[in-house]
Amino acid sequence: MRRTLVTGAAGMVGSHLLERLEAAAPGSTLGTWFRPTVRIEELAGRFALAELDVRDRAAVFEMVARERPATIHHLAAQSLPTVSWADPWETMRTNVEGTVNVFEAVRAVRVQHDAGYDPMVVVACSSAQYGASLTPENVPIDEDTQPLPLHPYGVSKVAQDLLAFQ
């Protein structure tokens, strides 16, 4: 078991987070990747990595049940607004369904294995969820800023934020 799981560890933010976490506690972090946006060769051999498509419910459930991390940094995402216009289904499946899979995997571990399992789950959202609210009078944004996304990617990030809130 590892103390920390980072989904999307082969993305721009995930790769930096993986480096910081491993520097602070060597050997305590497992990073997952699928369709990396950074060169996976730069991470392989330096960090514990596993391929994981967060859309694959069974694989996510198995990973969380096996690792039982105390902290999950859920960064896996389809993060390009242009791609979200071309394929909104892929964006929603990855960002929304993937997030549901992470939270439901935690719940499944509680029900099936360990009623006390209660990891901290950190979900990365985006300023894209604010879209039309990002006007000069609303910057900097705060917790009261209304989400008004302008593309499917922004909508998916609002959904992730609300899933994390619940």
Task: Give the separation between CA 128 and CA 89, rounded to whole angstroms.
Answer: 18
Among residues 31, 153, 157, 160, which one is catalytic? 153
Angle between the 98-112 and 152-165 helix axes, to the nearest 10 degrees?
20
Alpha carbon 65 to its chain centroid, in Å, reads 17
Confirm whether 153 is a catalytic residue: yes
- DSSP H or E run through 72: strand 71-74
Pick from 86, 103, 80: which is nearest to 157 by CA? 80
Distant-in-sequence, close-in-space partners of 114: CB < 8 Å, separation ≥ 6: 68
For residue 152, report the phi and psi dihedrals to the nearest 5 degrees: -55, -35
**33 is written with which tokens?**
């990747």
DSSP secondary structure code for residue 145 in this structure: P
**21: three-class secondary structure by DSSP:** helix
Active site residue ranges: 153
